[in-house]
Structure 1
Amino acid sequence: MILIVDDIRANIIALKKTLEFHNIDVDTAESGEEALKKILKTDYCLIIMDVQMPGLDGFEVVKILSGNKKTKDIPVIFLSAINIEKKYIFKGYETGAVDYITKPVDTDLLILKVKTFLKIYEQQNELKVMKELLSKEIKIRKEAQENLEIKIAERTKELVLKNEALEFSNHELQQFSWVVSHDLNEPLRKIQVFMGIIKELYLVDDDKATFYINRTIKSAGRMQTLITDLLEYSRLSSKVIPEKTDLNIVIQEVISDFDYLIEQKNAIVTVDELPVMDSISSQLRQVFQNLIGNSLKFSGKVETPQIHISSQFIKTKDFDAETDPDGQFCRITVTDNGIGFDEVYLDRIFVIFQSLNDRQVYEGTGIGLAISKKIIENHNGMITAKSQLGKGASFIMILPINIQ
């Protein structure tokens, strides 16, 4: 709405009709004092003000409006037929008016200016609304961010405390494992020794008793192996710093350990060139011992068991990744021509105490592959297998060349 302020009623009526003809809402005041009262009660988007009026003139009214926080931004156009000299026009702008129009008035120009100020007023209101919405949004986001930071800090503190408790528990568990393994191994050793003495001294001529004694000694031996494997598994939780390791040396040491069994089974073990990489050599040695040992154990009835160990540099940490001479990962595969297994049970073979074969035929504790998987994961790697019953198996490992 526009406010017209003029002490001559005829001027107000003429200007009001002109503006209303262009669908512009108009309010009027016939003095400066009346105008001030209305301006304080109503929001106007523009004021068209006569300069010379009895009481408060136009300059004085605008000066009062400029000093008020609520009204200082209302645009004012001075409209005068008397005060048309430059000094009055300058004074009009100095007091805070946005325009100074002298009579006779060009109606089209006046309407154009009025519509322009109305458009500016609308845009200012839109900006004001957007500013308020933006301020609210910033406030909401700031509060959300503060709440998130508080929650993150609380969660971090909670995780640190839990991690400390877990490390303490792991340490306690390792200590417990050592004590238990010692306490369990000692009576087992005595059982084996005394059973051996009884067998040699008192049961030489009793075949049936000797059979049962041998089974007891064998069971005690399996229990001892199980305890040893469990102890090895628990040790994997302790932190060890990796070092540069030549896997060619590691694999030759493992093959050397199996010399007798390889010769006994007439097996052939071939090895490609393996990389030098960051690792805990003793742990990777255990992995190769488990895998090569399994290949020899589960060779079945083949005349010549064959075990092949190969390696390739690859681009990414993926079992099917492309080869790349400059790759930062290595794919190591241990392949044999033994009895194999059904891939339906792939997930089971890496679980502790799981075995797919008859333990009366193939001795073992079912821990070896679980240990291997944990070691590979400790090296930020992955392990899987591919196989078919009666057609051998391939165990595939992905390991980073450098451990950060």
Structure 2
Amino acid sequence: MNALQKILIVDDRKENLIALRQVLRCLDVEVVEASSGNAALAATLDHRFALAILDVMMPEMSGFELAEHLRNDENTRLLPIIFITAAYPDELHIFSGYEAGGVDYIVKPYASEILLAKVKIFLELDSQRQELKRSNLVLGRAVEQSPVSVLITDTDGVIQQVNPKLCELTGYSPGELIGQNPRILQSGETSPETYRALWDTLLSGNAWRGMFHNKRKDGSLFWEQAVISPVRNDEGAVIQYVAVKEDISDRIRMEQDLQRAREDAECAGQAKLRFLQIMSHELRTPLNGILGALQILEYDKVYNAELTTSAKQALFSMIDIIDNMLEASRLESSELSFTQAPLQLELLLATLGRMFSVAVQNKGLHLRMSLAEDLPRRILTDAAHLKQIIAHLMSNAIKFTEQGTVEVRMNQESGGTSDRPVLRIDVRDTGIGIDPDKQQLVFALFTQGDDSLTRLHGGIGLGLTLTKRLAELMGGTIGLQSCVGIGTTVTVRLPLVQLP
């Protein structure tokens, strides 16, 4: 329920106050009487008045003087004042009344109907002013408490008002933003075309919608979805711009993550397709060899050592491919177990030398294997997986080397920031080398430097992937250095535990 509007009537004569109250009795208002200027000023401390009706001639303080006091008080400076007098009907006093801040000047005797009509007008204006004030208060609080950022500028783009959410988002205080241009938030990441489109739209009188990649006070970046609209006066002229902006950084990050996931899925799909093509090719090749050898043997019906050897090699190639696939599957599913046991390094190198002696001889390569003098000969490690790591590296080196040397060297080095020693294994070849842009790709699953079906060297691209994962599971690292046409060196570093 709205409180009654209040009218202040001031006169030093009691009969005049009674007469005024009688005129105003038909209005749904509260009338407050004061018999002096000081009493009237005291009443304004306790009441908000919609209108004041003042007598001009009063002892101690005239109506004109009272009006000046009211105009000088922030709470009453907009209070409408009607002067009523019987003593000063001349134009000079009438002018003085208006100059003192009066909105009307009535000379007694007056028609009560005329006074009532004027009072009703000012009461209606007060009602409208209070409604506008309430609307502005609601709007102001909506802006202040808005969960999105609000920024208001003049037509030159100078910031006039900001809300707390904008300050919270950007890290700037209102004092740091007001009077500045919104370019204080620019990061350089939003394209100039965006700003040109923004001003073209606003200058044409329309609202603009778009995104900014802006910068906070601390230098961090954030994304905003913005709607910027022109504000017009009653004549239709643009007087301000209002920007309502929402922080969409989390949404953008989610979209970027989704895009990366989509791209990764596409890459995985391509890798799967490439793997199936390579597998089909690699398995078909030895199968064709075996089938051909069996058909010749069936036709000749005599033992042929060369054909038998060829068929066996093809079978061993297929077994190797299947073993690598099973090993990759176990690595992916974390089914591998690691067992530490004593290992004699000379015996390990001797075993590896025998394993690859035929392959090296068939290609006319030199195989060199050595242990550094300061390297302990007995260590504690997972012998099977260490042997597997070196075997994969030697197999790759021999496969991609047509002439020259394959060298395996093991030595000891310090652990850098750690006091623990490290076993370093270098497998060097003088083979074809790897392009710089593909050196990191070769550690990916089913990837080779050349993964076309017409490549010169077989394999399904699992060797280096298995080696890398085994090394990491054993607490080590792997890296390579390579130069096309000169060769490749792959280095594995593993924790070294010496045994007496």
TM-score w.r.t. structure 1 length?
0.46
Structure (1 or 2) with the greater strand fraction: 2
Structure (1 or 2) with the greater helix fraction: 1
Higher RCO, 1 or 2 (CA under 8 Å, sep at least 6)? 1
TM-score w.r.t. structure 2 length?
0.38
